[in-house]
Amino acid sequence: MAGKGRTDKIKGKAKEMTGKVTGDRGKEAEGRADQAKGEAEESLREVHDRARGAAEPMKRRHN
């Protein structure tokens, strides 16, 4: 799912801002963690897509 990382980043930013406004350090930290998770998911998706793209020429040569 390509949008999952982006969704986590947006959700995380909202939590972080809510935590800052309310003074809830736990919610703020949870938001930062969600953002990090979103970044990791996007990075993993990018690596996966690049690997798939690199494999295509090799598949064509062997068929």
The predicted pLDDT at position 58 comes to 66
CA distances from 45 to 21, 31, 51 (A): 33, 21, 10
pLDDT at 3: 84
The pLDDT value given to residue 63: 59
Tokens of 22: 């309310």
> What is the pTM for the complete model shown?
0.73
Contact 2, 24 (CB under 8 A): no
User: What is the pLDDT, as a whole number, of residue 28?
Assistant: 98
pLDDT tens digit sequence for 8-59: 999 999 999 999 999 999 999 999 999 999 999 999 998 988 888 877 776 6
